[in-house]
Amino acid sequence: MAYKTLLVDDDENVLQGYYRTLRKILNLEVALGGPQALQALEEHGPFAVIVADMGMPGMSGIEVLQEARRLSPDTTRIMLTGYSDQKTAVDAVNEGRVFRFLSKPCPPETLAAVIEAGIRQHQLVVAERELLQQTLMGSIQVLSELLTGLDPDASRQSQVLRERARPLARALGFEDEWTLEAAALLAFIGRLALPPEVLGRLHSPTAIGPREQQMLDRAPEAGARLLQRIPRMEGVAEIIRYQSKGFDGSGFPVDEVAGDNIPFGARILKALKDFTELELTRHSRAVALEELSLHRAAYDPKVLEALFREFGSPEAQLSLQERSISLAELKEGMVLLRDIRTDQGRVVLMAGQRLGLGHLQLLRNLADLLGLQEPIYVQEG
């Protein structure tokens, strides 16, 4: 793989000089100034390394590297400057999280050596992140399968939450999508700590009593304690812990935390979870959204606004190209737009679920055993 490097300077002669010298040994692109650099990051990325000149007019090198960090966190950032004062170096390291700091004029062979070191650093960061995510996803998958065995309805709902978390996180500019998706998938994991007799009554016609309801309310805290034992899952655990906490301070856990002090991911998950539960119980997305609007104090206003925009606007509905198909026509990757139900009316998979191979096999088995209502409505495109 030819790792790409982006070199940014406001002096075209400097850029072209480095480009002519280094292009034979590096996969190099150049950008004349900050705005052109950001355009290159968005259109030609990802880059393994970015090298930015400090003293550019309009948009400084620190500002370019700050934005590069936001757009491409795995990119190694290097500062090249004619300024030699200590404050410049400190600002570059602290604000742009710079890997190396070089003074101009910098010999091409020195720059090449530092860029190669930056590429190795990029490789290490990416490898560590991928290994970490694979390890954590393995743990998450085991926990999710345990939940499926004990509470299939909660497991199906968590899959829908995970699918809905991704577009809502992007609409809100929430960068840590992976943590939010993991929290959505494990939103009900605390139910593993419930006594079997309580868990069995959750989906029965018999209403649970005050003592059982208190256990259910405290399940997120139990889930958070469970996840805290897994390294690097602290962020997921905090979202799980505060997923039922109202923006106005209501709900569990009972503490002083409220408003913006609640983890942002937990504020997103609370709105999504309440919306999805209401949609399931009321059998209407419009009614679910209306009920959320009647209890606005419990939700972060910007999260609620984004949720309405993503899942409630006519434009959002029209963007889904609905297609009705038979069970035999279902394919991996399709997204359900309506619940799949047995012939007796029981929900098997909820709307919003993206189908995997396991879902397809499950549906085939259930069709043989119980029969499924057709046609099935999916998103295409």
Name the band, by pLDDT with cuts 50, 70 and 90, for residue 315: very low
Most confident listed range (131-140, 267-276, 316-325): 267-276
If one counts every other C-beta atom within 10 angstroms of the C-beta of residue 293, the result is 12
- Count CA within 13 A, CB hemisphere, residue 30: 17
Q: Would you identify the CATH topology of the domain 321-381?
A: Molybdopterin biosynthesis moea protein, domain 2 (3.90.105)
Q: Which CATH number fits domain 151-319: 1.10.3210.10, 3.30.470.10, 3.30.930.10, 3.30.1330.10?
A: 1.10.3210.10
179 versus 268: the higher-pLDDT residue is 268
Q: Is 324 helix (H, G, I), strand (E, B) or coil?
A: strand
Q: How far is Cα 171 from Cα 179, in angstroms, rounded to an integer? A: 16
Tell me how crowded residue 259 is: count the other CB atoms within 10 A of its CB: 11
> pLDDT value at position 204?
64
Neighbours of 166 (CB within 10 A): 15
**For residue 73, is pLDDT > 50?**
yes
pLDDT tens digits, residue range 113-123? 999 999 999 88
pLDDT score for 70:
82
pLDDT (0 to 100) of residue 85: 54
pLDDT, residue 381, reads 46
Q: Between these two residues, 182 and 155, which has the higher pLDDT value?
A: 182
Residue 49 in contact with residue 118, Cβ under 8 Å? yes
- The fourth-level CATH superfamily of domain 4-125 is Response regulator (3.40.50.2300)
Q: Mean pLDDT throughout 170-176?
A: 85
Q: Say what the pTM is.
A: 0.56
pLDDT of the residue at 158: 81
Where does the pLDDT of residue 5 fall: very low under 50, low under 70, confident under 90, or very high at 90 and above? very high
pLDDT band at residue 8 under the 50/70/90 scheme: very high
Residue 321 has pLDDT above 70, yes or no: no
Among 165-174, 242-251, 325-334, name the most confident range.
242-251
Give the lowest-confidence range in 169-173, 198-202, 268-272: 198-202
Q: What is the arithmetic mean of pLDDT over 157-168?
A: 84
Tell me the domain boundaries of the chain.
Answer: 4-125, 151-319, 321-381
